[in-house]
Amino acid sequence: MCNSHLLSYTNHPNLNIKPVEALTASNVTKRYSNHLALDQVSLTVPSQSIYGLLGPNGAGKTTLIRIINQIIHADEGQITLFGEKLNPKHIGEIGYLPEERGLYKKMKVGEQLIYFAQLKGLSRKDATERSKTWIKKFDIKEWWNKKVEDLSKGMAQKVQFISTVMHEPKLIILDEPFSGFDPVNAQLITKEIMELKAKGSTIIFSTHRMETVEDLCDHIALINKSKKILEGSKKQVKDKYRANTYVIDHRGAFTLAENNYNLKDQTVLEDDFYQSVITTIPETNPNRLIRDLTEVTEVHSFIEKIPTISEIFITLVKDETHE
Amino acid sequence: MNKTWLIFQREFLNRVQKKSFLIATILVPLIFPAILAVMVYVFMKQEESAVKQTIEVYDATGKMQFEEDDKYKFIPVTGNLDQLKTAFNLSDHYALLYIPEIELANPEGITLYTKENLSILRMEQLKGKIEDLIHGLKLEQFNISRETLSSLKTNIRLHNINISDPEEEKENNTQSLYALGFILGMLIYFFVMIYGMQIMLGVIDEKTSKVVEVIISSVRPFQLMLGKILGIAAVGLLQFTIWAVLISVLSSATLGLLGVDMADQQTMEQVQSMQQPDAQVQANNNNPVVEIVKIIDKIPILYITFNFIFYFLGGYLLYGALFAAVGSAVDNQQEAQQFTLPIMMPLLISYFALFMFILTDPHSTASFWFSIIPFTSPIAMVGRLGFDVPLWELLLSQVLLIAGFIFTTWIAGRVYRIGILMHGSKVNYKVLAKWFMMKA
């Protein structure tokens, strides 16, 4: 477990980057008059990672994101960005795609991209150049002079994505990034996100739809009811919540005498072929189980049943509500 | 500040480049003279084409001598009134006028029978004719000739000369100043209303299109609000400047058509005053247009222009911030109404006060207070500008106006920063107060 964690650090493609955290939050609290939106939330987002900020609707994700974007301010706690205390200078280093997408309907695509980039601190010349590059990259050059109101929803989403990343922010925050994208465009956006990460950006995904980020994220944090209830690398989290459950396809029925194992289920697949589900006590390891199994049956496949993030999330949220 | 400038630019350019802006800017100065011209034209056409109407006159006194003119022809009739009425109904005559035996001192019972309802215009015309005749008969009765009467009639012009400045004796024309104050006050009223609404709609648009969240992740809400208010102010100023130029060009063209060329008239005056100083006054008295032009020349243009622009902008900024706050609080225009009415009240009140008492009595206590309080001063003080406002009053009013718009902008900014992020919540004044107090 520990090894794998270390490994993920040494695996960094770009070793020149200092292992400074892209973002840290310590004990961030935000209170509204009638409820607590964030309660002592602490997070560490490693540099150049894709970080999934997960949680059900109303958990406080958007509040946290707004605080990072300095749209609102925390009542308590501190946030640092690349080692510095959060300050107005950071605005140009963040790219933010809000959940509620919005562009000026009456403004032309080109003008709009330039305007947004200028607001992020680019000069007009740079802003123009980059807008043109991106629009070429997304193969939507013919939209340059079109008004946003004449675009389809998917088209507008592309424009909005460009406006989020074109100033090459070091930290990109995407709130529900795939809502509203068709599968083709979602693929395109995923590709761009991976490219941005490779170039050195850190990406925070915020979503309540785990399945969309399961594959993409390196790190995740779970927020529920204003509190962080889980944080870590994907591997760490999965290790923590592995159920020590294995699914084995085998030929020949068997029973297990040892106390360490618990044969949960054994079903017939075909003739003499079976599928069995075994849980073990945490202290054993898969190798031992395989060894023991080979003595009693002919093993055809051996899979550890690892919970998906979504399953972990549901278990945790359920636990919370039961408490 | 740089970002406020970017927002300012976008607001300005985006609006100025719209076709509707171009159309409104060019058409408005043309529309008013055009409407006027059309109305005059229609009226004249109507007059020309009007058929001469025949009126039967049953004059029991026998003394009324109606004269035929280009509108009416009078034919005397006699007999039984009821029979006359029946006959009239069958005829194609316009009306039957019945004048019973009347006492001149108390002429009663004069009746006009018609087949249709009379227009006010014709009613007045005929009434005037009858009154004239009775008036004449009365004069005869008292043995007064018309010449004597007209020599009794007195008509003077009261010259009002302000001598507070011994260097220069200014001749005032209260009526022109009244008109000037009225027009300037009205301009401010409309400017604040039209462009205040524009601010509000702009904010609502940004809020409903959800673009605002992206923007305020790049700029502070206050910068966004300020940039928008100033940008729209620039649009308004540009539009009003173009209107002013177009209207003055058009009106001097019209004056030119009337035979009064401003430059010519001035040189003419100078020549005249050198040659025969007394003749000038007389000559001018005969020509009301020259008179007005003369008064306009006397009004301290620079003083009024400067102060007008000051109150124009000051009033706009004061109210504009409030309109922005309202826009930020609501999700659509309908919802906004409950908040815009209280904002517009002081504007409306000062607008009514302007022609009810400020212009008629610019130095009264009420006028003073209206022109000092920031919410009413933009309209009230502009109305008083022509009437020698004491400098200390002017300065006090201006300082208070500046303080006023800083105050409203501050309040609005606090509501705005929270409001633009709130969707679908039911907003009332309590909620606004809560937002105002909230920490961001």
pLDDT for res B243: 86
pLDDT for res B25: 86
Set of chain A residues whose Cβ sits within 8 Å of the Cβ of B211: 102-104
pLDDT for res B257: 63
For chain B, the first-to-last Cα distance in angstroms comes to 20
Q: How far apart, in whole angstroms, are the C-alpha atoms of residue A233 and residue A42?
A: 15
Q: How far apart, in whole angstroms, are the C-alpha atoms of residue A202 and residue A50?
A: 6
Q: Do A101 and B438 touch (CB under 8 A)?
A: no
Burial class (CB within 10 angstroms; exposed 0-12, middle 13-18, buried 19+) of B294: middle
**By the CB < 8 Å criterion, does B222 face chain A?**
no
**Which one of A104, A112, A179 makes the best mutation probe of the B interface by having the most chain B beta carbons within 10 Å?**
A104
Set of chain A residues whose Cβ sits within 8 Å of the Cβ of B6: 115, 118-119
Q: To the nearest whole angstrom, how far is the Cα of B205 from the nearest Cα of chain A?
A: 9
pLDDT for res A6: 41
Q: Do A91 and B216 touch (CB under 8 A)?
A: no
Select from B6, B214, B438 the Cβ nearest to the Cβ of A118: B6
Q: Which strand (E) or helix (H) includes residue B390? A: none
CB pairs under 8 A between A and B: 56
The tens digit of pLDDT for each residue in A73-131 reads 889 999 999 988 998 888 889 999 998 888 998 899 999 999 999 999 899 999 999 99
pLDDT for res A7: 41
B43 vs B299: which has the higher pLDDT: B43
pLDDT for res B225: 92
Cβ atoms of B381 and B371 within 8 Å: the answer is: yes
Q: To the nearest whole angstrom, how far is the Cα of B189 from the nearest Cα of chain A?
A: 29
Dihedral sign (CA B342, B345, B346, B347): positive
Q: To the nearest whole angstrom, how far is the Cα of A277 from the nearest Cα of chain B?
A: 50
Q: Do B217 and A98 touch (CB under 8 A)?
A: yes
Select from B209, B421, B438 the Cβ nearest to the Cβ of A102: B209
The tens digit of pLDDT for each residue in B9-40 reads 999 999 998 888 888 888 887 776 677 778 77
- Residue B188: which residues within 8 A CB-CB, separation 6 or more? B308, B311, B312, B315, B378, B379, B382
Q: Do B440 and A115 touch (CB under 8 A)?
A: no
The tens digit of pLDDT for each residue in B63-86 reads 788 888 878 888 888 888 888 888
**CA R_g for chain B:** 31
Q: What is the DSSP string of B85-147?
A: HHHHHHS--SEEEEE-S-BTTB----EEEESSPPPHHHHHHHHHHHHHHHHHHHHHHTT--HH
Interface of A with B (CB under 8 A): 33, 66, 69-73, 75, 91, 94, 96, 98, 100-107, 115-116, 118-120, 160, 163
Q: To the nearest whole angstrom, how far is the Cα of B336 from the nearest Cα of chain A?
A: 21
Q: Which strand (E) or helix (H) includes residue A101? A: none
Set of chain B residues whose Cβ sits within 8 Å of the Cβ of A105: 209
- One-letter amino acid at B200 equals M
**By the CB < 8 Å criterion, does B210 face chain A?**
yes
Q: Do B213 and A72 touch (CB under 8 A)?
A: no
Q: Which residues of chain A have pLDDT under 70?
A: 1-19, 320-323
Task: State the DSSP code for A149.
Answer: G
Cβ atoms of A182 and A156 within 8 Å: the answer is: no
Q: Do B439 and A75 touch (CB under 8 A)?
A: yes
Across the range B368-389, mean pLDDT stands at 88
A262 forms bridges with which residues in the sheet? A279
The tens digit of pLDDT for each residue in B44-63 reads 777 666 677 888 888 888 77
Q: Output the pTM of the full model.
A: 0.74
pLDDT for res B254: 65
pLDDT for res A94: 93
Q: Do B209 and A100 touch (CB under 8 A)?
A: no
Predicted confidence (pLDDT) at residue B117 exceeds the cutoff of 70: yes
CATH 3.40.190.10 fits B51-152, yes or no: yes
The tens digit of pLDDT for each residue in B225-284 reads 999 999 999 999 998 888 888 877 877 776 666 554 444 545 444 544 444 444 444 444
**By the CB < 8 Å criterion, does B431 face chain A?**
no
Q: Do B210 and A102 touch (CB under 8 A)?
A: yes
Set of chain B residues whose Cβ sits within 8 Å of the Cβ of A72: 421, 440
For CATH 3.40.190.10, list the domain ranges present in chain B: 51-152
Q: How far apart, in whole angstroms, are the C-alpha atoms of residue B387 and residue B293?
A: 18
The tens digit of pLDDT for each residue in B139-181 reads 888 888 878 887 887 777 777 676 666 555 555 567 777 888 8
Q: In the β-sheet with A36-45, what is the strand arrangement from edge to edge? A: A36-45, A23-31, A76-81, A84-85
CA distances from B56 to B81, B120, B134, B137, B389 (A): 12, 20, 18, 21, 61
Q: To the nearest whole angstrom, how far is the Cα of A90 from the nearest Cα of chain B?
A: 10
- Residue A21: which residues within 8 A CB-CB, separation 6 or more? A44, A45, A46, A47, A80, A82, A83
- One-letter amino acid at B381 equals M
Set of chain B residues whose Cβ sits within 8 Å of the Cβ of A94: 217
What ipTM was reported for this prediction?
A: 0.79
For residue B370, report the phi and psi dihedrals to the nearest 5 degrees: -60, -35
The tens digit of pLDDT for each residue in B196-225 reads 999 999 999 999 888 988 898 889 889 999
Set of chain B residues whose Cβ sits within 8 Å of the Cβ of A115: 6, 10
Q: Do B217 and A91 touch (CB under 8 A)?
A: yes
Q: Do A107 and B213 touch (CB under 8 A)?
A: no
- Mean pLDDT over all residues of chain B? 81
The tokens of A194 are what?
A: 């991976």
Select from B213, B215, B440 the Cβ nearest to the Cβ of A119: B215
Dihedral sign (CA B264, B267, B273, B274): negative
Q: To the nearest whole angstrom, how far is the Cα of B402 from the nearest Cα of chain A?
A: 29
Task: State the DSSP code for B169.
Answer: -
